[in-house]
Copies of this chain bind each other. A is one copy, B any other.
C-alpha cells in the first residue's frame, strides 16, 4: 500500500502500538467505511490518546498513508480521507543488466553505433544543448539468453559526463557506465507504444508492425542534463508493479 515496500509487513501482524499497527487500524476503518472518502479523521493527538500511543507514532502512520495517496493532510486544516484517490504505484527501474540477471538469464550486449553528432532538435532541447552543439550518440542492443531484449538509443552531453568520450562503450553499456559515473541523477520518465518498422523488427527479432513498449528517459545530475535515452523493448515485454 505504501510507497515503501521495504518497511512493509503483513498488515495486522504488528501490535496496535506500533506505527504499522496504527496504519493498519486506520486503513481498516477506511475500508470498513467508518471513514468514507472525504471524511475528516480525528487529529493526531486524539487518535494517539484513543489508540494508546504517542502522537509521533500516529504521525508516522498517517504520513505513510498520505504518501500512498490514501489521506490528504494539510496543516491546520487537518487530515481527511482522499476523495479522489490518486493511487501511487512505485516502479522499480533497474539497470538493464540486473533486470535480466534477476530473471536468471544471461545478459548480452552489442554496441551498434557510437558517434559524435548534432542531435535532432527535440533531443537537443531535452539536453538543453546550445544550437549546433554535438553530443555522443550511442545505439546498443541488450540480449537475454541471446534473445534481443531492449534497444538502447541514447544521446549524452559530453561536458555533463566527463570521461564518457574515453569510455569503452563496446564493453560496458552506456546505461551501466552512467550509473557508475553519474549515479543517482533525477529526471523524467515516460512510456508509450511504438510500431516496429523494418529496422526495429530486424533488431528486436519480431515481425514488422508489432507493437512495442517504449520508455523515454531524461537524466540530470541536479544541475545539468546528462543524457536522454529511448529504450524500445522486445515484443511481449511487460513492465510490472504493485500498488
Contacts and interface: CB of A to CB of B under 8 A. Distances in A.
Interface string A67-108: 101100000000001001111111111110010000000000
Nearest to A64: B4
A225 interface: no
A93 B243 contact: yes
Most buried by B among A63, A91, A95: A91
B66 A184 contact: no
A171 interface: no
A13 interface: no
Question: What copy number does this chain have within its complex?
Answer: 2
B184 A85 contact: yes
Contact of A191 (B81, B222, B239): B239
Interface stretch (A43-51, A130-138, A146-154, A209-217): A209-217
A189 B242 contact: yes
A191 B193 CA distance: 10
A66 B243 CA distance: 19
Interface in A1-52: 1, 3-4, 6-7, 11, 27, 30-31, 36-37
Which size class do A's interface residues fall under? Answer: 35 or more
Q: What are the 6 tightest A-B residue pairs by CB atom distance, in nearest-first order? A: A211-B211, A193-B193, A193-B211, A195-B211, A190-B240, A191-B239
29 contacts: A1-B186, A4-B67, A6-B66, A6-B67, A30-B183, A31-B183, A31-B221, A37-B179, A81-B183, A84-B179, A85-B95, A86-B93, A88-B91, A90-B90, A90-B91, A188-B241, A188-B242, A188-B243, A189-B240, A189-B241, A189-B243, A190-B238, A191-B240, A193-B193, A194-B211, A195-B209, A195-B210, A209-B209, A213-B213
